[in-house]
Structure 1
Amino acid sequence: MAINLDKLMGFHHKALQVRTDRMEVIAGNLANANTPGYKARDIDFQKAMKSAQHSRDHNLTRTNDNHIKGAMQGTGELQFRIPNQPDTGDGNTVDVQIERNTFLDNGLRYQAGMEFLNGKIKSMKKAITGGQQ
């Protein structure tokens, strides 16, 4: 019986991809904290994961690489963050404290996802080798 690794780990792999993309966006926000007129952006993780789930459930099988793909391959919709602080006069909407906290939270969740996948891989390896190293 063949093991479908995409079914086993595909959704979690996609979550790590979205978290990586989100880290880059948040890092860009922090880098532009003092840039006049810069608008803070973020990726809606929940929307991106719903899109990934929908994509997985409705993915079409292609018989040739030249055929059009049946599912969107995007990681998530990049959106502007709604500012929580009053305008400082320069039009910049980056709140450094919120960005740092979001960056740390996203990093911890990324690490947890990596640990989860690592555990799955170790379990598969143990099942294949019969528990012997």
Structure 2
Amino acid sequence: MNALKDHISFQASTLALREKRNNLLASNIANAATPNYKARDIDFDREMARQNGDSPVRMSSVRHFDSIAGNGLSGVKYRQPLNPSLDGNTVEMAVEQMEFSENSLRYMTTLTFLNNRISGLMTAIRGE
């Protein structure tokens, strides 16, 4: 049974992380007019590397900086705005909509991969 779990676990964990990121991006879009709201996001590649036990990319100098600043909540970080607003809100609709669209497309792609894996397992079980 562990072999079956191992066969689909990567796509399943990817799907869960994509869903978490979609929820954060949707929350950013919903709060675009909220004063002092800070846009949040997940660095997907680093989170997947962390979940798989790989070491994330490290900065080689203290003068390097991320485009996403950490807050310590399990990979959820605050996005640094390109154009800060006067009311303190860091949501930039064009960025959020682009990130949401890209993440949704990747979510659907991951779901397709997961469905194909499950279909392949079902074919093997039936002996077809």
Is the TM-score greater than 0.5? yes
Q: Secondary structure at the match of 1:54?
A: coil
| 1:101 and 2:112 aligned | no
2:116 corresponding residue in structure 1: 119
Quote the Cα distance in structure 2 between the aligned partners of 1:17 and 1:3.
19
| 1:77 and 2:75 aligned | yes
Quote the Cα distance in structure 2 between the aligned partners of 1:54 and 1:4.
19
**Structure 2 unmatched runs, 5+:** 55-72
Q: Number of residues paired by the alignment?
A: 110
TM superposition score normalised by structure 1: 0.77
Could you tell me how far 1:88 is from its partner in structure 2? 2.3
Question: If you compute each CA radius of gyration, which structure gives the higher value, 1 or 2?
Answer: 1
Q: Secondary structure at the match of 1:91?
A: coil
Q: Let me know the Cα RMSD of the aligned residues.
A: 1.7
Report Cα offsets for 1:32-75 as digits up to 9, x if no partner: 100011110101101110111118xxxxxxxxxxxxxxxxxxx9
**Structure 1 unmatched runs, 5+:** 56-74
Quote the Cα distance in structure 2 between the aligned partners of 1:10 and 1:76.
20
Could you tell me how far 1:9 is from its partner in structure 2? 1.1
Q: Secondary structure at the match of 1:79?
A: strand
Q: Secondary structure at the match of 2:23?
A: helix
Greater fraction of residues in strand: 2
CA gap of 1:3–1:36, structure 2 versus 1, over 3 A, is: closer
1:36 corresponding residue in structure 2: 35
